[in-house]
Amino acid sequence: MIEAENITKVYKTGAVEYKALDNVSLTIKRGEFIAIMGPSGSGKSTLMNILACLDRFDSGRYKLNGKDITFMNDNQLAKIRNKEIGFVFQNFNLLPKLNLLENVELPMIYAGVGKKARHDTAMKALEKVKLTKWYKHKPSEISGGQRQRVAIARSLVNKPFVIMADEPTGNLDSAVSIEVMHIFQELNEDGVTIVMVTHEEDIARFAQRIITVKDGRIVSDESAN
Ligand SMILES: Nc1ncnc2c1ncn2[C@@H]1O[C@H](COP(=O)(O)OP(=O)(O)OP(=O)(O)O)[C@@H](O)[C@H]1O
Protein backbone atom coordinates (compact mmCIF):
# COMPACT_ATOMS: atom_id res chain seq x y z
CA MET A 1 0.00 0.00 0.00
CA ILE A 2 1.10 3.52 -0.79
CA GLU A 3 0.31 6.10 1.89
CA ALA A 4 1.39 9.64 1.08
CA GLU A 5 0.35 12.28 3.57
CA ASN A 6 0.54 16.06 3.15
CA ILE A 7 3.42 15.92 0.68
CA THR A 8 4.87 19.29 -0.29
CA LYS A 9 7.69 19.73 -2.78
CA VAL A 10 9.41 23.05 -3.41
CA TYR A 11 11.88 23.61 -6.23
CA LYS A 12 14.44 26.33 -5.58
CA THR A 13 16.18 28.05 -8.47
CA GLY A 14 18.53 30.63 -6.98
CA ALA A 15 16.37 32.83 -4.79
CA VAL A 16 13.15 31.76 -6.53
CA GLU A 17 11.00 29.08 -4.92
CA TYR A 18 8.26 27.15 -6.71
CA LYS A 19 5.80 24.90 -4.88
CA ALA A 20 5.35 22.01 -7.33
CA LEU A 21 3.30 19.92 -4.86
CA ASP A 22 1.15 21.49 -2.20
CA ASN A 23 -0.04 19.27 0.65
CA VAL A 24 -0.87 16.21 -1.44
CA SER A 25 -2.33 13.16 0.31
CA LEU A 26 -2.95 9.91 -1.52
CA THR A 27 -3.56 6.25 -0.67
CA ILE A 28 -3.11 3.51 -3.25
CA LYS A 29 -4.02 -0.08 -2.43
CA ARG A 30 -2.45 -3.24 -3.79
CA GLY A 31 -4.02 -4.19 -7.13
CA GLU A 32 -5.23 -0.75 -8.15
CA PHE A 33 -4.67 0.66 -11.65
CA ILE A 34 -4.39 4.43 -11.40
CA ALA A 35 -3.95 7.16 -13.98
CA ILE A 36 -2.58 10.54 -12.93
CA MET A 37 -3.73 13.29 -15.28
CA GLY A 38 -3.44 17.07 -15.41
CA PRO A 39 -2.20 19.95 -17.53
CA SER A 40 1.46 20.44 -18.41
CA GLY A 41 3.41 21.69 -15.40
CA SER A 42 0.71 20.67 -12.90
CA GLY A 43 3.04 18.40 -10.89
CA LYS A 44 2.28 14.92 -12.28
CA SER A 45 5.89 13.87 -12.80
CA THR A 46 6.94 15.44 -9.51
CA LEU A 47 4.29 13.37 -7.72
CA MET A 48 5.24 10.20 -9.55
CA ASN A 49 8.96 10.72 -8.89
CA ILE A 50 8.26 11.07 -5.19
CA LEU A 51 5.97 8.01 -5.12
CA ALA A 52 8.69 6.11 -7.02
CA CYS A 53 11.30 7.11 -4.40
CA LEU A 54 13.34 8.85 -7.12
CA ASP A 55 12.95 12.28 -5.58
CA ARG A 56 12.73 13.77 -2.09
CA PHE A 57 10.00 15.97 -0.69
CA ASP A 58 10.15 18.92 1.72
CA SER A 59 7.38 18.06 4.15
CA GLY A 60 4.85 15.31 4.74
CA ARG A 61 5.21 11.56 5.20
CA TYR A 62 5.40 8.66 2.82
CA LYS A 63 4.91 4.99 3.64
CA LEU A 64 5.41 2.27 1.06
CA ASN A 65 4.14 -1.17 2.07
CA GLY A 66 4.23 -0.22 5.71
CA LYS A 67 7.79 1.13 5.58
CA ASP A 68 8.14 4.80 6.36
CA ILE A 69 10.61 6.06 3.78
CA THR A 70 10.39 9.72 4.83
CA PHE A 71 13.77 9.81 6.55
CA MET A 72 15.59 7.03 4.72
CA ASN A 73 19.06 7.73 3.35
CA ASP A 74 19.89 7.39 -0.36
CA ASN A 75 21.15 3.81 -0.02
CA GLN A 76 18.06 2.63 1.81
CA LEU A 77 15.89 4.41 -0.73
CA ALA A 78 17.70 2.78 -3.66
CA LYS A 79 17.09 -0.67 -2.14
CA ILE A 80 13.38 0.01 -1.64
CA ARG A 81 13.18 1.32 -5.21
CA ASN A 82 14.81 -1.75 -6.71
CA LYS A 83 12.66 -4.15 -4.70
CA GLU A 84 9.26 -2.47 -4.68
CA ILE A 85 9.05 -0.46 -7.90
CA GLY A 86 9.14 -1.33 -11.58
CA PHE A 87 9.72 1.55 -13.98
CA VAL A 88 8.31 2.18 -17.45
CA PHE A 89 9.34 5.39 -19.20
CA GLN A 90 8.11 7.28 -22.24
CA ASN A 91 11.39 6.68 -24.10
CA PHE A 92 11.63 3.01 -23.02
CA ASN A 93 15.16 3.46 -21.53
CA LEU A 94 16.55 0.22 -22.99
CA LEU A 95 20.31 -0.17 -23.32
CA PRO A 96 21.06 -0.32 -27.07
CA LYS A 97 24.09 -2.60 -26.83
CA LEU A 98 22.28 -5.28 -24.84
CA ASN A 99 19.85 -7.73 -26.40
CA LEU A 100 16.26 -7.91 -25.16
CA LEU A 101 16.92 -10.72 -22.70
CA GLU A 102 19.90 -8.88 -21.21
CA ASN A 103 17.86 -5.69 -20.89
CA VAL A 104 15.14 -7.56 -19.02
CA GLU A 105 17.73 -9.20 -16.75
CA LEU A 106 19.21 -5.87 -15.61
CA PRO A 107 17.09 -5.15 -12.49
CA MET A 108 17.89 -8.67 -11.29
CA ILE A 109 21.63 -8.05 -11.68
CA TYR A 110 21.25 -5.02 -9.39
CA ALA A 111 19.27 -7.20 -6.97
CA GLY A 112 22.01 -9.88 -6.94
CA VAL A 113 19.91 -12.68 -8.49
CA GLY A 114 21.93 -15.69 -9.79
CA LYS A 115 22.46 -16.31 -13.50
CA LYS A 116 20.08 -19.24 -14.06
CA ALA A 117 17.23 -17.64 -12.09
CA ARG A 118 17.83 -14.39 -13.99
CA HIS A 119 17.61 -16.11 -17.33
CA ASP A 120 14.48 -18.09 -16.47
CA THR A 121 12.66 -15.12 -14.94
CA ALA A 122 13.56 -12.83 -17.86
CA MET A 123 12.34 -15.40 -20.40
CA LYS A 124 9.05 -15.74 -18.49
CA ALA A 125 8.64 -11.96 -18.44
CA LEU A 126 9.30 -11.81 -22.19
CA GLU A 127 6.69 -14.53 -22.63
CA LYS A 128 4.14 -12.36 -20.79
CA VAL A 129 4.65 -9.60 -23.35
CA LYS A 130 4.82 -12.11 -26.26
CA LEU A 131 8.40 -11.41 -27.26
CA THR A 132 10.29 -14.60 -26.38
CA LYS A 133 11.29 -15.40 -29.94
CA TRP A 134 12.97 -12.00 -30.26
CA TYR A 135 15.08 -12.35 -27.14
CA LYS A 136 18.44 -12.22 -28.92
CA HIS A 137 17.58 -9.09 -30.88
CA LYS A 138 18.75 -5.60 -30.03
CA PRO A 139 16.26 -2.80 -29.22
CA SER A 140 17.11 -1.12 -32.56
CA GLU A 141 15.77 -4.18 -34.41
CA ILE A 142 12.23 -4.00 -33.04
CA SER A 143 9.36 -1.48 -33.19
CA GLY A 144 8.52 1.20 -30.60
CA GLY A 145 5.57 -0.78 -29.28
CA GLN A 146 7.75 -3.87 -28.93
CA ARG A 147 10.39 -1.81 -27.10
CA GLN A 148 7.79 -0.65 -24.61
CA ARG A 149 6.71 -4.26 -24.12
CA VAL A 150 10.34 -5.16 -23.34
CA ALA A 151 10.44 -2.29 -20.84
CA ILE A 152 7.26 -3.64 -19.23
CA ALA A 153 8.83 -7.11 -19.03
CA ARG A 154 11.89 -5.53 -17.39
CA SER A 155 9.69 -3.70 -14.88
CA LEU A 156 8.19 -7.01 -13.71
CA VAL A 157 11.19 -9.18 -12.99
CA ASN A 158 11.81 -8.24 -9.34
CA LYS A 159 8.08 -8.72 -8.62
CA PRO A 160 7.61 -5.12 -7.53
CA PHE A 161 4.69 -3.90 -5.46
CA VAL A 162 3.91 -1.30 -8.11
CA ILE A 163 4.75 -0.41 -11.70
CA MET A 164 5.23 3.32 -12.18
CA ALA A 165 4.78 4.36 -15.80
CA ASP A 166 5.44 7.96 -16.84
CA GLU A 167 3.67 8.71 -20.16
CA PRO A 168 4.17 5.10 -21.33
CA THR A 169 2.40 5.73 -24.63
CA GLY A 170 3.88 9.18 -25.29
CA ASN A 171 6.05 7.88 -28.14
CA LEU A 172 3.59 5.40 -29.61
CA ASP A 173 0.81 5.71 -32.18
CA SER A 174 -2.71 5.10 -30.99
CA ALA A 175 -3.13 1.47 -32.13
CA VAL A 176 0.14 0.48 -30.47
CA SER A 177 -0.75 2.51 -27.37
CA ILE A 178 -3.90 0.46 -26.97
CA GLU A 179 -1.89 -2.79 -27.24
CA VAL A 180 0.38 -1.54 -24.46
CA MET A 181 -2.65 -0.63 -22.34
CA HIS A 182 -4.08 -4.12 -22.84
CA ILE A 183 -0.84 -5.53 -21.45
CA PHE A 184 -1.15 -3.26 -18.41
CA GLN A 185 -4.74 -4.41 -17.95
CA GLU A 186 -3.73 -8.08 -18.13
CA LEU A 187 -0.98 -7.53 -15.58
CA ASN A 188 -3.40 -5.65 -13.36
CA GLU A 189 -5.86 -8.56 -13.59
CA ASP A 190 -2.97 -10.75 -12.33
CA GLY A 191 -2.77 -8.45 -9.29
CA VAL A 192 -0.02 -5.99 -10.30
CA THR A 193 -0.53 -2.43 -8.97
CA ILE A 194 -0.04 0.19 -11.70
CA VAL A 195 0.36 3.95 -11.40
CA MET A 196 0.57 5.72 -14.76
CA VAL A 197 1.01 9.38 -15.65
CA THR A 198 -0.68 10.36 -18.89
CA HIS A 199 -2.16 13.46 -20.44
CA GLU A 200 -4.27 11.42 -22.87
CA GLU A 201 -7.87 10.81 -21.79
CA ASP A 202 -8.24 7.78 -24.05
CA ILE A 203 -5.29 6.19 -22.28
CA ALA A 204 -6.39 7.16 -18.76
CA ARG A 205 -9.69 5.33 -19.38
CA PHE A 206 -7.85 2.02 -19.18
CA ALA A 207 -7.22 2.66 -15.47
CA GLN A 208 -9.82 2.05 -12.73
CA ARG A 209 -9.19 5.30 -10.93
CA ILE A 210 -8.24 8.70 -12.35
CA ILE A 211 -6.50 11.30 -10.21
CA THR A 212 -6.27 14.82 -11.61
CA VAL A 213 -3.53 17.17 -10.48
CA LYS A 214 -3.65 20.93 -11.00
CA ASP A 215 -1.26 23.57 -9.67
CA GLY A 216 0.37 20.99 -7.40
CA ARG A 217 -2.87 19.80 -5.79
CA ILE A 218 -5.17 16.83 -6.35
CA VAL A 219 -8.37 18.36 -7.71
CA SER A 220 -10.26 15.14 -8.40
CA ASP A 221 -9.95 11.47 -7.59
CA GLU A 222 -12.61 9.27 -9.11
CA SER A 223 -13.44 5.87 -10.48
CA ALA A 224 -12.89 5.68 -14.26
CA ASN A 225 -16.13 3.78 -14.91
N1 LIG B 1 14.02 20.35 -11.25
C2 LIG B 1 13.16 21.37 -11.27
N3 LIG B 1 13.55 22.62 -10.90
C4 LIG B 1 12.68 23.64 -10.90
N5 LIG B 1 11.39 23.55 -11.25
C6 LIG B 1 10.94 22.33 -11.62
C7 LIG B 1 11.80 21.18 -11.65
N8 LIG B 1 11.07 20.12 -12.07
C9 LIG B 1 9.82 20.57 -12.28
N10 LIG B 1 9.74 21.89 -12.02
C11 LIG B 1 8.53 22.72 -12.11
O12 LIG B 1 7.52 22.15 -11.29
C13 LIG B 1 6.26 22.19 -11.94
C14 LIG B 1 5.70 20.79 -12.05
O15 LIG B 1 6.49 20.05 -12.98
P16 LIG B 1 6.14 18.55 -13.39
O17 LIG B 1 7.22 18.10 -14.32
O18 LIG B 1 5.88 17.74 -12.17
O19 LIG B 1 4.77 18.77 -14.18
P20 LIG B 1 4.00 17.76 -15.12
O21 LIG B 1 2.56 17.88 -14.74
O22 LIG B 1 4.59 16.41 -15.07
O23 LIG B 1 4.21 18.44 -16.53
P24 LIG B 1 4.35 17.79 -18.01
O25 LIG B 1 2.99 17.22 -18.35
O26 LIG B 1 4.70 18.95 -18.86
O27 LIG B 1 5.42 16.75 -17.93
C28 LIG B 1 6.49 22.86 -13.28
O29 LIG B 1 6.14 24.21 -13.16
C30 LIG B 1 7.97 22.71 -13.53
O31 LIG B 1 8.47 23.78 -14.28
pLDDT values of the chain reduced to their tens digit, one per residue, 225 residues? 999 999 999 999 888 999 999 999 999 999 999 999 999 999 999 999 999 999 999 999 999 998 999 999 999 999 899 889 999 998 899 999 999 999 999 999 988 999 999 999 999 999 999 999 999 999 999 999 999 999 999 999 999 999 999 999 998 898 899 999 999 999 999 999 999 999 999 999 999 999 999 999 999 999 986
Q: Is 107 helix (H, G, I), strand (E, B) or coil?
A: helix
ipTM value for the complex: 0.95
Split into its structural domains, the chain has a count of 1
Task: Identify the CATH number of the domain in which residue 186 sits.
Answer: 3.40.50.300
Residue 111's pLDDT is what? Answer: 87
User: What is the 54 CA–ligand 1 centroid distance (Å)?
Assistant: 14
pLDDT of residue 224: 82
CB 204 within 8 A of CB 35: yes
CA of 55 to the centre of ligand 1 (A): 13
CB-hemisphere CA count at 13 Å for 143?
Answer: 10
Question: CA-based diameter of the chain, in Å?
Answer: 55
User: Separation of 79 CA from ligand 1 center, angstroms?
Assistant: 26
Contact indicator for 162, 84 with CB cutoff of 8 Å:
yes
Which residue owns the Cα nearest ligand 1 atom 18? 43
Expressed as residue numbers, the domain containing 172 is 2-223
Q: What is the pLDDT of residue 82?
A: 86
Query: Residue 101 has what pLDDT?
Result: 97
Which ligand 1 atom minimizes the distance to the CA of 216?
A: 14
Counting Cα atoms < 13 Å in the Cβ hemisphere of 26 gives 32
Q: Please identify, by atom number, the ligand 1 atom nearest to the C-alpha of residue 43.
A: 18
CA of 115 to the centre of ligand 1 (A): 40
